[in-house]
A and B are shown apart, each in its own frame.
Chain A
Amino acid sequence: MSRHVAPHRWADAFAGKLDDSERALMDRHAESCAACQRTRTRIAGASDSYGSIRTQPGPELPWDSVRARVHWAVSKEKRAQSQPAGPPGRRVPNLVWGVLAATAAGALALVTPPSPPSRPAAPVAHVTSPVAPPAPVVAAPPPAAIAGLVIRVAGSGARDVMIDGVRPDDLFARHLGAGTVIATGEGRVDVQFGDASAFALGPRSTLELRRFDSSMIELVIDGTIDLEVAHRAAGQRLVVVAGEHTVEVRGTQFRVSREQAGTTVSCRHGLVAVRDGSAAQVEVGTARRIQLAPGAAVSSDQIVPLSVDELASLASATPIRVPLWNIDALVVGSAPLEITTVGPRDVRVDGVELGLAPLSVRVMPGRHTVESADSAGRYRRVGWVDVAVPSAGSKPARLEVPAEVPRTAGVAERRRQLREGIDQARLARCTRSIAKAGLTGTYVQVELAVDASGAVGFLNVIDTDLPSATASCVREVLADVRFRQGAPATWREKLDL
Chain B
Amino acid sequence: MLTPVKRDTGPSAALGPADEADLIARCRADDRGAHDEFYHRFRRPIAANLYRVLGDRTDLDDLVQEVFVIAFRGLERFRGDARLSTWIYRICVNVALGRIRTRKRRPNAIGVNDLDSAHADPSLVERPEMPDRALERHQDQARVYRALETLAPKKRLVLYLHEIEGLDLKQIAYLIDSNPVTVRTRLFYARREFYRAIAEEPES
Contacts and interface: CB of A to CB of B under 8 A. Distances in A.
A49 B7 contact: no
A75 to B, nearest CB: 9
Classify chain B: how many residues form its interface, as a range. 35 or more
29 contacts: A6-B195, A7-B195, A7-B199, A11-B195, A39-B199, A43-B198, A43-B199, A45-B136, A52-B5, A52-B141, A53-B52, A53-B115, A54-B52, A55-B7, A57-B124, A58-B49, A58-B51, A59-B51, A61-B43, A67-B36, A70-B72, A74-B69, A286-B31, A305-B26, A306-B29, A441-B181, A443-B181, A463-B182, A466-B185
Given A66-B65, A287-B25, A10 B195 contact: yes
A65 B64 CA distance: 11
Classify chain A: how many residues form its interface, as a range. 35 or more
Contacts of B49: 58
A45 B143 contact: yes
B137 A49 contact: yes
Interface stretch (B99-107, B149-157, B163-171): B163-171
Given A50-B163, A53-B144, A287-B26, A7 B198 contact: yes
A439 interface: yes
Interface stretch (A25-33, A256-264, A307-315): A307-315
A488 B30 CA distance: 51
A43 B141 contact: no
B52 A56 contact: yes
Nearest to A15: B163
B90 interface: no
Nearest to A47: B163
A465 B64 contact: no
A305 B24 CA distance: 12
Contacts of A433: none
Interface of B: 5-8, 21-22, 24-26, 28-31, 35-36, 39, 43-52, 57, 60-61, 64-65, 68-69, 72-73, 76, 80, 115, 118-121, 124, 136-137, 139-141, 143-144, 147, 163-166, 179, 181-182, 184-185, 188, 191-192, 194-196, 198-199, 201
Contacts of B52: 53-54, 56, 58
A442 interface: yes
B185 A57 contact: no
Contacts of A20: none
Given A287-B25, A308-B24, A7 B196 contact: yes
A287 B124 CA distance: 40
A311 B28 contact: yes
A484 interface: no
Given A51-B5, A305-B22, 7 more contacts: A42-B143, A53-B164, A56-B48, A58-B48, A58-B49, A70-B68, A463-B179
